Chain A
């Protein structure tokens, strides 16, 4: 992929350098190293408990590495002010992460408000984002419980993009949606990403999603990084751990 080759010449936006994470004597991540370059979508793929979400949370310092270093924008996350770091990174999680007591507008405006933008600038930004993610203006004053799953997820994406962060972290963003809505949102994500070119790290356990959305795929298994592949490399890999991942799809003869 030319995009990856081109960007790999520049310095990485996110870099894991021999990172391990342990919690109560349990090793959740073991000596992980990889880089994410500007404008690419790196998908962290693996089963439940493989360490994908842990890796994601190390990027915005919801967790700190037990050993090794995670670099964001050329600096170790431990040397960043964690509040500044988090505000410069968009964070999309499964639908439950919206604030239930905030309207759509207030949910989207959270980070700009924290950053004390002027009111009219916030209002304008909310309108812009709602249009960008395909939310009707009439939904502005609704509350999360009054929205469909797909709409909630659009609000989640708009909220993460609000302060125009360079980096977007997405933890199974489309995981809780029905298949039709999911496909629709995946398509829109691709369109959006084509114009915004954010540096995206996305966690999923869905191989199809990984192949469709990812510039590259980082495969995790039991806290270890098996490797980082392009879609082609992944589909053609002879590595048994990769083939194991592909086999259910082959057996079902699904087009991947």
Chain B
């Protein structure tokens, strides 16, 4: 087993990098889209149902089917990595949007009222009070989304986007356990690493309750 890893370390390493790249790009986009959506939802009650509902539905679609659905899309279908990234972003939205929203709504109303009563503008309220106080919730959402994305990204190999899924799919096709593990073990380690790092960050952001 170890021999197999050492012999193929070049390929495993490059596929791991590809995997990290897919997840990294997807999570960056998901945060850039998801956090503002969460803020928007916290300020406009009427957007709550449509936006949270839509992200909810996206997450119920089986990942393999989502990749399949996106395949015929004109710009997306042209390149497999593009398609994989979009699918990963769509999956990541729910936890990020919902946790951003929940984090902002969980802030003590007296604290928000004090901020407004002292003369903060809406922008100041958001950047000085709401975002810092909801940061741990937001990071928890990003952590869940990232760990999930590391797993889902293995399926991206089905549409030819590369990543560690390639080894797994090849291993399944060839009934080769070693090949499957060569993809699965690094993927699992990546997920654990993301969980630990983002979890530590989340704890640092936590504000002690008074």
Contacts and interface: CB of A to CB of B under 8 A. Distances in A.
Interface of A: 57, 60, 62, 83-87, 91, 93-101, 110-111, 114, 143-145, 152, 159
Contacts of A83: 119-121
A145 B133 CA distance: 14
Q: How large is the interface on B (under 10, 10 to 19, 20 to 34, 35 or more residues)?
A: 20 to 34
Nearest to A159: B118
Nearest to B208: A145
B58 interface: no
B116 interface: yes
Contact of B114 (A84, A93, A114, A145): A93
A144 B124 contact: no
In this complex, which of A62, A83, A94 has the most chain B Cβ atoms within 10 angstroms of its Cβ? Answer: A83
B200 interface: no
Interface in B194-209: 207-209
Given A98-B114, A159-B118, 16 more contacts: A62-B117, A83-B120, A86-B119, A87-B119, A93-B113, A93-B117, A94-B110, A96-B110, A97-B111, A97-B113, A99-B115, A100-B111, A100-B133, A100-B210, A114-B118, A114-B120
A62 B116 contact: yes
B3 interface: no
Contacts of A87: 118-119
A100 B129 CA distance: 9
In this complex, which of B117, B129, B132 has the most chain A Cβ atoms within 10 angstroms of its Cβ? Answer: B117
Contacts of B118: 86-87, 91, 110-111, 114, 159
B119 A62 contact: no
A62 B113 CA distance: 8
Nearest to B121: A83
A110 to B, nearest CB: 6
A144 B113 contact: no
Contacts of B113: 62, 93, 97
A114 B208 contact: no
Contacts of B210: 95-96, 98, 100, 143-145, 152
Contacts of A145: 208-210
A91 B117 contact: yes
B208 A100 contact: yes
Nearest to B209: A145
Interface in B113-166: 113-121, 124, 129, 132-133
Contacts of A62: 113, 116-117
B208 A143 contact: yes
B129 A84 contact: no
8 contacts: A57-B117, A62-B116, A87-B119, A93-B117, A97-B111, A97-B114, A100-B108, A101-B207
A237 to B, nearest CB: 33
